[in-house]
Structure 1
Amino acid sequence: MSGLEQWLADVATTALVGTARRDAPGAPAELGVRPAADAPAEHRLLDGAALVDALARAGARLPDALPATEVAPPEDLPVCSDTAAQLLHLLLTQPPVTKATRDDLVVEWLRLATAAGQRAPSWLLPGLLAFAAGRRHVARALGTAPGERGAWLAALNPDWASLLLDDDSLALAGVADDWVEVWPTLPTAQAVPAFEAGRRADPAAARELLASEWDGLSAKVRSEALQALRSGLSLDDEPLLERALDDKAKSVRDVAVRMLDRLPGSARGARMAERLRGLVRVKGTLVRHLEVDVPDAPDQAGVRDGLTAPGRGATVPPTTWLAQVVHAAPLETWTDLTGRAPAATLKMVRDKDVLTWLVDVVLARRDREWAAALVDQGRPDARLLALLPDETRSALLGTWVLRPPQGLDLPALLNAAPRPWPDDLARTVLRAIQGQGSTSRLALVAGPMLASALPPSSAPEVRAALDRVPEDATYLRRALTETLQLHAFRTSLTEAFR
């Protein structure tokens, strides 16, 4: 071992045991370093460690030459104003608002920049792309704001490469050109996600591939690939789903039933409609209503269509078969039986279980007319409300804020309302809070939402409310103050892109 190597080892040993047990070794003379003899031992050890680090860095081999990176293409959009850049920098590094609101403001900045035909400055691109990488809703709003250099920079980092792709391009990006040829050879762990990506990219090709390879696939792959058909599901998939109803694996048959439930216009939907028609009768003279019978145990054809087979030991409740028929039959079956519109038809249904199943069907089919009818019948379900047009939803919410129906989940409904709230809903909530008091349930529920939900046009009402709220109502005063601050920030954003 040379003197230099010995010294390196001694420095490491002294650092390990401490200068109280071993003195710091002096540097070898060949290094030409003057020792600091009068310095404390711990200082001399630190000097030695620094010298070791410098030697290690100086002696490091250069990496093999990497291919030169292509130069970023020239920009075709003007950079945003200094004010707009400073506002984005503030949001990314020192946001003056909550995290959730910060994300919304970054999205707003990006949309304003794209609409104005401007881009973010180069010095903000790394921070912007890193911020968007963990937030898909922010990535979707990037638009043209990163500019050519942003696209170039994103392509250099695997974590950023997909940020500037739209949903269709993203689906294609996960699929190799020859995926149809290689898919049958993939192990199960890779076959299912590859099929899901292929289905999103080209539904017809995926369906044809699954049909052609069906008999050679395991039950696990058959069932999971069949489930992937929910992306772009259409009546074109019906022949394959009908084939799956006869599959020997129960897991495959169950998936086929769930997929066909989403296709009420299929032949199975027609068969279920026929079963439902045999169970429903219009009764009454003055007040007409629907009487719904439970079905008998299903025959072999019914079991094939997804009705639970009668058990040999445990008894299957007939309501189970009725629920399965209701879930599978087209909604039009009910209106055909009554000759009335959905709202009038629902008034004729007295069975609470049937109404609950109909809610499930309407949600699965995303039927707006039936959703509005159910809400009108006194079912203020947030999921049903989400199917309604924004204007209708906001008008109903305004009514319910003042007179909440029994069982209403007001926080969920207000939180699900489109942001910012329409002016009428915003005014209603503010007036109701002032009328009910700062400690009311409405104030506690709506307070956290006010900053992001109230539109800028409500600023005068917010200031007036703040003047009237008692000084000791700190919770509500803070919410109103944050709302005004956010409105001021949004105004600055808008002005920065004019």
Structure 2
Amino acid sequence: MEDTVTDTLGAHAAIDPAPWEALVTTALLGTDRRTPPPEVLAASPAAGDPAVALLDAAAVHTVRRRAGLLPAVAAARPEPAPRDDRPALPEPARHRLEQLLADRAAPSSGGRRGVAPDLTELLPQWLSTAGEQGFRAPSALLPALLDAARARTDLRPRTLAFAGARGLWLARFNPDWRFALRGTAGGGAVLPELSAMDEVRALWEEGLFTERVALLAAVRAEDPARGLELLTGTWPTERAEDRLMFLDTLRTGLSPEDEPFLERTLADRSRNVRTAAAELLSALPQSALAGRMARRAASCVGPDHGGAGAGIAVEAPHECDADMQRDGVTPTPPTGRGKRSWWLGQLVEAAPLATWTRRFAGRAPEEIVGLPVADGWREELHAAWCRAAVRQADAAWSRALLGPPGIPPESGPGTASLAERARLLETLPADERGRWVAEFIAAHGLSEAFQLLGVCSVPWPEPLGRAVVDALGTARAGGSYPWSFSGVMGLAERCLHPSAADRLEPLTADHPIGAEGAPAGAGGYWAEAFQRLVSTLRLREAMHRELTGSAP
């Protein structure tokens, strides 16, 4: 019967075929809502059943479409993937990477975490260590690595550096991986020898965006003047978003030689580019812009001669003129901010911090920050000084604005904002940063320390690790539940030195909480959390040994 149907429908279709689109539409709507065309019904042996007739016609058209398909013209074979001469991963490390990538794709249980380590959160650390050791990524795992980086933007710089030129080559064949070609500066691009002028110029003028950013950063690191020359040669033809990324590379080797170009960039057609240029110029204390901002800020902030003692008087700007806007001052404040305080904050942030030592008769930063500020301007002024200290990476002013770690944040000398304190801490040396946060935790506990812990070097230095472990033990003894400290526990799994596992071992025991009235189940939850922490630290130690051949 099938031959009869095929012959009948095929002969009819050769004379007057029913369009494929009409068949699809009828199937989507249903034969009870749309009757197949009469020629379809007439051609089918099952003409009394519209659904069967429709399927018969679809089968014939499918065969005809396939039979009539012409072979495509063979595309040109892609260029082979570039060589990667970095050493291969040790076999245990390769297996570990497969395990980490497989766990990333595994569905979440949605319940309690149990005592097993969260492998997903260990992938960034594994990639960092593999990159430091100079290993190349296994070719077979490149797709999974690119998928992981597509899902998590924080993985992209390390993943693309590890994937290398082969990762970029592969990313060209999958639109889902286009971020690798554009979204991350550098990311494994193959660069010519910087002494090969013609090759450098050709890559700069014809390369992919990520390759051009990597090239500019490399040239800038070796010869800042030559890097600036590359950038200025094509600057007028670059897109606004590209100009913004290229400007960021000038932070490397930033010097007075960059000032004329940055001054011209203050007139750029993109507001974001103008703002970035102004920020770079304000980081050059001797630049003309820094001088202009210093004069404006000093006219608004100075010694208070009318009070009973030494203090600070503030008179915020009454307008934001064209010259201020050209120098990067944004005239329109965010919702809820007053215009004058908004303009004042920008002026003080952009002024060299040395301005205030001169303005206040040679006082040290600690003395200036400790002066009373008239008319309620203290919070605004200190917040602007915090931003200036971060922008200018001034450790002395950061220390003054942070104050002693034992003082409650709300009564400290600089700022009560933990976010601002975290940014100030980043300007301090790593060891000093760790000691400061350790003393903060010892004085105030863990409840307000999460943001501060996030800016400390990894692994945490010994005093900081000890302070965190002691504070967690105190929280357990006080009857709290561990999920009140889940953020800190997560950081501890990634940031504690693996050697802390031995000190944590006694806390893995499931025993009743000693505090009167503590919930009966808290001890079990804490034991589970500490068991997971210990197993994660031991796994990190094993990962490090697999990649380096030694314990961390």
What residue number does 2:469 align with? 430
What residue number does 1:472 align with? 521
In structure 2, the CA distance between the partners of 1:102 and 1:177, relative to structure 1 (3 Å rule), is farther
What residue number does 1:63 align with? 72
- The correspondence for 2:354, drawn from 308, 332, 335, is 332
The one-letter code matched in structure 1 to 2:499 is: S
1:439 and 2:480 aligned? yes
1:267-308 Cα distance to aligned partner (Å, 9 max, x none): 343345456666634879xx9734435389799998698699
Give the C-alpha shift of residue 153 in structure 1: 3.5
Q: Quick one: distance in 2 between partners of 1:263 and 1:170?
A: 31
What residue number does 2:426 align with? 386
Q: Quick one: distance in 2 between partners of 1:409 and 1:301?
A: 42
The one-letter code matched in structure 1 to 2:287 is: S
Q: Is this contact kept in 2: 1:196–1:225, CA < 8 A?
A: no
Q: Is this contact kept in 2: 1:294–1:319, CA < 8 A?
A: no
Q: Within 5 Å, give how 1:199-210 maps onto structure 2.
A: 202-207=227-232
Give the C-alpha shift of residue 465 in structure 1: 1.7
Q: Quick one: distance in 2 between partners of 1:85 and 1:248?
A: 49
Q: Quick one: distance in 2 between partners of 1:15 and 1:296?
A: 71
Q: Quick one: distance in 2 between partners of 1:472 and 1:433?
A: 17
Q: Is this contact kept in 1: 2:458–2:495, CA < 8 A?
A: yes
The one-letter code matched in structure 2 to 1:280 is: G
SS for the counterpart of 1:418 is coil
What residue number does 1:32 align with? none
The one-letter code matched in structure 1 to 2:149 is: A
Q: Quick one: distance in 2 between partners of 1:332 and 1:53?
A: 79
SS for the counterpart of 2:70 is coil
- The correspondence for 1:369, drawn from 381, 396, 414, is 396
The one-letter code matched in structure 2 to 1:108 is: Q
Q: Within 5 Å, give how 1:308-347 maps onto structure 2.
A: 323=345, 325-336=347-358, 337-347=360-370
Fraction of identical pairs, as percent = 27
In structure 2, the CA distance between the partners of 1:450 and 1:68, relative to structure 1 (3 Å rule), is same
In structure 2, the CA distance between the partners of 1:53 and 1:112, relative to structure 1 (3 Å rule), is farther
What residue number does 1:188 align with? none
Q: CA RMSD in A?
A: 5.8
Q: Quick one: distance in 2 between partners of 1:247 and 1:15?
A: 58
What residue number does 1:266 align with? 287
In structure 2, the CA distance between the partners of 1:282 and 1:153, relative to structure 1 (3 Å rule), is same
Q: Within 5 Å, give how 1:165-244 maps onto structure 2.
A: 167-168=185-186, 202-207=227-232, 229=247, 232=250, 235-236=256-257, 238-239=259-260
Q: Quick one: distance in 2 between partners of 1:18 and 1:248?
A: 60
Q: Is this contact kept in 2: 1:438–1:476, CA < 8 A?
A: no
What residue number does 2:516 align with? none
Q: Is this contact kept in 2: 1:264–1:328, CA < 8 A?
A: no
What residue number does 1:453 align with? 495
Q: Is this contact kept in 2: 1:451–1:480, CA < 8 A?
A: no
Q: Quick one: distance in 1 between partners of 2:545 and 2:340?
A: 65
1:397-439 Cα distance to aligned partner (Å, 9 max, x none): 111212229xx94332223333332232222122122223241
Q: 5+ unaligned residues in a row in structure 1: which ranges?
A: 29-41, 183-192, 215-220, 310-315
SS for the counterpart of 2:286 is coil
In structure 2, the CA distance between the partners of 1:207 and 1:382, relative to structure 1 (3 Å rule), is same
Q: Quick one: distance in 2 between partners of 1:256 and 1:145?
A: 32
Q: Is this contact kept in 1: 2:137–2:162, CA < 8 A?
A: yes
1:243-277 Cα distance to aligned partner (Å, 9 max, x none): 78899999999887666544432234334545666
Q: Quick one: distance in 1 between partners of 2:320 and 2:470?
A: 60
Deviates further, 56-65 or 361-370: 56-65
In structure 2, the CA distance between the partners of 1:467 and 1:283, relative to structure 1 (3 Å rule), is farther
Give the C-alpha shift of residue 371 in structure 1: 0.9
1:475-494 Cα distance to aligned partner (Å, 9 max, x none): 54443232223223323323
In structure 2, the CA distance between the partners of 1:339 and 1:98, relative to structure 1 (3 Å rule), is farther
Q: Is this contact kept in 2: 1:289–1:350, CA < 8 A?
A: no
Give the C-alpha shift of residue 395 in structure 1: 1.2
Q: Quick one: distance in 2 between partners of 1:98 and 1:81?
A: 30
Q: Is this contact kept in 1: 2:438–2:468, CA < 8 A?
A: yes
Q: Quick one: distance in 2 between partners of 1:90 and 1:238?
A: 50
Q: Is this contact kept in 2: 1:454–1:483, CA < 8 A?
A: no
Q: Quick one: distance in 1 between partners of 2:102 and 2:354?
A: 55
Give the C-alpha shift of residue 109 in structure 1: 3.1
Q: Quick one: distance in 2 between partners of 1:98 and 1:57?
A: 42
Deviates further, 87-96 or 317-326: 317-326
Deviates further, 365-374 or 292-301: 292-301
SS for the counterpart of 2:122 is helix
Q: Is this contact kept in 1: 2:390–2:424, CA < 8 A?
A: yes
Give the C-alpha shift of residue 459 in structure 1: 0.8
Q: Quick one: distance in 1 between partners of 2:241 and 2:78?
A: 45
In structure 2, the CA distance between the partners of 1:127 and 1:51, relative to structure 1 (3 Å rule), is farther
Q: Quick one: distance in 1 between partners of 2:248 and 2:536?
A: 40
Q: Quick one: distance in 2 between partners of 1:301 and 1:10?
A: 66
SS for the counterpart of 2:10 is helix
1:124-156 Cα distance to aligned partner (Å, 9 max, x none): 232223323444543432477547865654455
- The correspondence for 1:85, drawn from 88, 94, 99, is 94
Deviates further, 445-454 or 91-100: 91-100
Q: Quick one: distance in 2 between partners of 1:243 and 1:294?
A: 31
What residue number does 1:496 align with? 546
- The correspondence for 1:105, drawn from 96, 110, 122, is 122
SS for the counterpart of 1:383 is helix
What residue number does 1:4 align with? 10
TM-score, structure 2 length as denominator? 0.61
Q: Quick one: distance in 2 between partners of 1:82 and 1:46?
A: 55
Q: Quick one: distance in 2 between partners of 1:144 and 1:222?
A: 26
Q: Quick one: distance in 2 between partners of 1:332 and 1:65?
A: 68
Q: Quick one: distance in 1 between partners of 2:387 and 2:101?
A: 42
Give the C-alpha shift of residue 51 in structure 1: 9.0
TM-score, structure 1 length as denominator? 0.67
- The correspondence for 2:386, drawn from 351, 359, 366, is 359
Q: Quick one: distance in 1 between partners of 2:163 and 2:269?
A: 53
Q: Is this contact kept in 1: 2:161–2:187, CA < 8 A?
A: no
Q: Quick one: distance in 2 between partners of 1:80 and 1:240?
A: 45
Q: Quick one: distance in 2 between partners of 1:423 and 1:113?
A: 24
Give the C-alpha shift of residue 179 in structure 1: 11
The one-letter code matched in structure 1 to 2:100 is: L
SS for the counterpart of 1:60 is coil
SS for the counterpart of 1:292 is strand
1:450-480 Cα distance to aligned partner (Å, 9 max, x none): 3223221111222222226647125544432
Give the C-alpha shift of residue 118 in structure 1: 4.5
Q: Is this contact kept in 1: 2:481–2:525, CA < 8 A?
A: no
Q: Is this contact kept in 2: 1:420–1:454, CA < 8 A?
A: yes
1:402 and 2:419 aligned? no
1:419 and 2:458 aligned? yes
The one-letter code matched in structure 1 to 2:75 is: L
